[in-house]
C-alpha cells in the first residue's frame, strides 16, 4: 500500500499541490487523468522519490 498524507509542492509562489492525502491499495490499478500542465507527471515523480 502507498499512503500519502499532507503532500505539498510549489514552484516559487505557484502552488501545485497543497494538503494532498491519498491511499493506493496493493494489487489495484490506478490512472491519473487531467489536462496538460495540471501536474500529473510532477505527482508521479514525487511518488518515485519516496
* Calpha distance 14→4 (Å, rounded): 21
Number of Cβ within 10 Å of residue 45's Cβ equals 11
Q: Are 14 and 38 in contact (CB under 8 A)?
A: no
* Calpha distance 27→24 (Å, rounded): 9
Q: Are 5 and 20 in contact (CB under 8 A)?
A: no
pTM of the model: 0.73
User: For the chain, which residues make up each domain, given as ranges?
Assistant: 2-49
pLDDT in tens, the chain (50 residues): 889 999 999 999 999 989 999 999 999 999 999 999 888 999 999 888 86
Amino acid at each position: 500500500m502507498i499512503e500519502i498524507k499532507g503532500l505539498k509542492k510549489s514552484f516559487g509562489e505557484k502552488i501545485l499541490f497543497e494538503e494532498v492525502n491519498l491511499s493506493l491499495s496493493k494489487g489495484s490499478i490506478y490512472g491519473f487523468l487531467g489536462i496538460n500542465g495540471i501536474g500529473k507527471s510532477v505527482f508521479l515523480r514525487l511518488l518515485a522519490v519516496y
